[in-house]
């Protein structure tokens, strides 16, 4: 974290929560983040070049329709449907007390295809005016998007919502009515049935060309369920159940190797987009609210047996959020934990141990983090959502320049060595 410098901060009119931030990745322009506050305010943040080629942060309030006065925003999520095109879909869950003392609950889904070359900010503003609403019978918490293989054997993005009824719900587009409806989970996600507790986080990872799925859910009761599913037969191959004494606010499936992001389907990080036909090496991070968090290494090989504890040397941190990022740009992913005590901890893998290598203090509790290229320079920034506002942290340009120089020199040496080897083989064959 020492190499990161704060390049922008903007306040929120009211606080958000751990589900209040989402990223929107575009192949046309710079990426953006969406940040929601409880009292109906939603902001987009990105960077734009001025005429004198200076990057300027653009923070704009977006006026989403069908968010009535008095409503509270619970969660927000968004994605771009395509890797080489742009069509954003944004989901927002809200609750609204009525004069009769009851509560109305909705999932609003906003989408509009952006034209070729259309200004990205205008596109998001247009999307905000096109809403399809799903009325909910439960109070929503986490809103998460992932993919299924539908009846036409095509990938389709669906929404998963954790509800106050201690169930997970799948919301899917109805192509006949051009709306969205709730669809039975057992048709696609048998591992998510009968949890009977409030789900706080979900992470889904597909591999082997979408024929296998690793799913992990964490719950308010301390339950963590990890499931390996055969997609073709819709059968559960293996299942692991863990119980902790405290709520588990976050779980992550991740690879140790930093991978290039895929803009199509899954929610959080590049690690969700593996499409190789070989078995990947996948780790699972389990974030405990008060107890030490743990990482289970290479779960496809060892199951939930190879456990590494993340020691912070402080039992009062109250961890709220997590992020997987190659924060030191060494090609390996690090673990970031955001705490109620205003800090972000960074853990690095060293000789099969996850060691606390750096930390950083913020102004208030850290609700959420994401790692993406906001400035459009090819280097990712760390975005930190706190109780009071949003920080954007950039890698020190001089350090980035040194890393770039070392990598170029290494590539040049490797290219020369390869050329010499080819010449030696050619001479030998002659």
The 3-class SS string of 347-381 reads EEEECCEEEEEEEEECCCCEEEEEEECCCCCCCCE
User: Rounded to two decimals, what is the model's pTM?
Assistant: 0.90
Q: What letter does residue 193 receive in the DSSP assignment?
A: S
**Environment class of residue 424 by beta-carbon count within 10 Å: exposed (0-12), middle (13-18) or buried (19+)?**
exposed
Q: What is the pLDDT of residues 273-285, one digit of tens each?
A: 445 557 899 999 9
Please tell me the predicted confidence (pLDDT) of residue 337.
Answer: 96
Question: Which position has the token pair 């003392």?
Answer: 101
Q: What is the pLDDT of residues 206-217, one digit of tens each?
A: 999 999 999 999
Please tell me the predicted confidence (pLDDT) of residue 20.
Answer: 97
CB-based contacts of 240, cutoff 8 Å, min separation 6:
225, 226, 227, 299, 303, 304
- Distance, in Å, from the CA atom of 337 to the CA atom of 346, rounded to the nearest integer, reads 7
Q: What is the pLDDT of residues 245-274, one digit of tens each?
A: 999 999 999 999 886 544 444 444 444 444
59: phi then psi, degrees, rounded to nearest 5:
-110, 120
């Amino acid at each position: 974290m020492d190499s990161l410098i704060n390049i922008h901060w903007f306040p929120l009119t009211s606080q958000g929560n751990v589900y209040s931030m989402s990223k929107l990745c575009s192949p046309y322009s710079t990426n953006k983040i969406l940040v929601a506050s409880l009292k109906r305010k939603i902001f987009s943040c990105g960077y734009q070049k001025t005429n004198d080629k200076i990057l300027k942060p653009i923070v704009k309030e977006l006026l989403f329709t069908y968010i009535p006065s008095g409503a509270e925003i619970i969660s927000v999520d968004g994605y771009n449907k395509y890797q080489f095109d742009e069509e954003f879909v944004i989901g927002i869950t809200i609750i609204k007390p009525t004069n009769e003392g009851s509560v109305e609950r909705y999932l609003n889904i906003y989408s509009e295809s952006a034209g070729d070359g259309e200004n990205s900010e205008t596109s998001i503003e247009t999307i905000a005016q096109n809403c399809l609403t799903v009325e909910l019978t439960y109070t929503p918490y986490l809103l998460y998007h992932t993919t299924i293989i539908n009846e036409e054997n095509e990938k389709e993005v669906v929404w998963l919502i954790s509800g106050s009824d201690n169930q997970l719900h799948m919301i899917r587009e109805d192509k006949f009515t051009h709306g969205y409806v709730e669809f039975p989970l057992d048709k696609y996600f048998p591992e998510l049935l009968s949890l009977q507790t409030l789900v706080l986080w979900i992470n889904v990872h597909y591999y082997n060309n979408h024929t296998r799925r690793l799913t992990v859910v964490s719950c308010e009761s301390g339950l963590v369920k990890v499931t390996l599913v055969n997609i073709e037969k819709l059968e559960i191959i293996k299942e692991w159940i863990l119980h902790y004494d405290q709520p588990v606010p976050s779980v992550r499936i991740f690879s140790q190797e930093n991978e290039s992001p895929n803009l199509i389907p899954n929610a959080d990080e590049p690690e969700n987009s593996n499409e190789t036909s070989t078995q990947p090496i996948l780790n699972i991070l389990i974030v405990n609210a008060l107890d030490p968090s743990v990482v289970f290494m290479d779960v496809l090989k060892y199951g939930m047996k190879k456990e590494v504890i993340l020691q912070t040397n402080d039992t009062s941190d109250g961890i709220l959020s997590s992020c997987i990022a190659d924060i030191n740009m060494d090609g390996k992913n690090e673990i970031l934990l955001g705490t109620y005590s205003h800090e972000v901890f960074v853990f690095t893998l060293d000789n099969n141990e996850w060691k606390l290598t750096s930390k950083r203090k913020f102004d208030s509790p850290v609700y959420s983090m994401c790692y993406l290229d906001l400035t459009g320079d090819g280097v990712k920034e760390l975005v930190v959502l706190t109780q009071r506002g949003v920080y954007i942290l950039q890698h020190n340009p001089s350090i980035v320049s040194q890393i770039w120089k070392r990598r170029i020199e290494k590539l040049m040496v490797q290219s020369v060595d390869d050329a010499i080897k080819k010449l030696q083989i050619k001479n030998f064959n002659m």
